[in-house]
Amino acid sequence: MQQRAFQLQNGVLLPAIGFGTYKATDGNGKQAISDALETGYRYLDTASFYGNEGEIGEAVKESGIPREELFLASKVWKTEMGYEETKAAFAKTRERLQTDYLDLYLIHWPKKAPEDENWKVCLKETWLAMEELYEEGRIRAIGVSNFLPHHLEVILEDARIKPMVNQLELHVGYLQMAAVNYCREHDILVQAWSPLGRRRVLEEPVVLSFAEKYQVTPAQFLLGFLHQEGFSVIPKASARERMISNQQIFGFTLSEEDKYFLECLPQMGWSGEHPDL
């Protein structure tokens, strides 16, 4: 099913396509952000770790686009986890983005480090801070990133507010269906980061073949497949042409046979990043 926005469990509408800003400001400052806004993106995904919240805030301010037409998302980094630390990190993020509120705020990773034996306590404290920021109206929706079921279980044990979003590495050849199915059972929207497999998957023969079949670019095919699987996508691009092209994914529909085939492909294109390793 194709839709332009997904409704979260609290009623907030999250755009189906966002612009991923990781390394987007390297070398050219805020120009890529300005280009993304000019080419139609209204959902910008960033994180304190990306080091570009300031540039994004400036680009948004200069764009003249009303704040209520934008969807701004950021994330609290591993070293910022903890109750007081999360609140301090959020305040800095909000200041850099030059906004009174965020539309979405995520915990970037479940642990400060793989060997952290105290991660469950730290995670619970971090989530409590997220809940309070949400209840104060400073964030419209809260969630997590790179969380597998056993990480989500820790939050759900005593959370007042369930995570509304889980951002995972998802693309053809790496769909993490155990985590996806768990999220769906708990009404948590799954977003796909690295939906193009950091370009590793774009030149796979099977992808090129399907793109030709559906008469779209390989990137449009990969994004369209994920969208039709029910995932929000946040692709990156540096060229304006690709920024525009990546938004044009609503004009084709995969057959059920093709979707099943793609869901069962062997692993390919994984970034190598894992929350427990």
Question: Cα separation of 1 and 112, whole Å?
Answer: 37
Q: Cα angle vertex 77, ends 134, 172, to 5°?
A: 95
Residues 6+ apart with CB under 8 A from 253: 2, 228
- Decide if 54 is inside a domain: yes
Question: Cα separation of 81 and 87, whole Å?
Answer: 9
Catalytic annotation on 50?
yes
Residues 6+ apart with CB under 8 A from 181: none
- Decide if 130 is inside a domain: yes
- Decide if 224 is inside a domain: no
pLDDT value for 36? 98
* Residue range(s) defining the domain that contains residue 36: 12-202+230-250
* Residues 143/126, Cβ–Cβ less than 8 Å: no
- Decide if 269 is inside a domain: no
Residues 6+ apart with CB under 8 A from 68: none
- pTM for the model stands at 0.97
- What stretch of H or E contains 73? strand 71-76
Catalytic residue among 22, 43, 50, 105: 50
Residue 265 is given by DSSP the state P
- Decide if 16 is inside a domain: yes
- Decide if 1 is inside a domain: no
Written as tens digits, the pLDDT of the chain (277 aa) is 578 999 999 999 999 999 999 999 998 889 999 999 999 999 999 999 999 999 999 999 999 999 999 999 999 999 999 999 999 999 999 999 999 999 999 999 999 999 999 999 999 999 999 999 999 999 999 999 999 999 999 999 999 999 999 999 999 999 999 999 999 999 999 999 999 997 789 999 999 999 999 999 999 999 999 999 999 999 999 999 999 999 999 999 999 999 999 999 999 999 999 999 9
Q: How many domains, in total, are found in the chain?
A: 1
Domain harbouring 27, CATH code: 3.20.20.100
- Decide if 268 is inside a domain: no
Question: Cα separation of 224 and 257, whole Å?
Answer: 15
Give the total residue count for the chain: 277
pLDDT value for 200? 83
pLDDT value for 198? 78
- Decide if 214 is inside a domain: no
* Residues 165/14, Cβ–Cβ less than 8 Å: yes
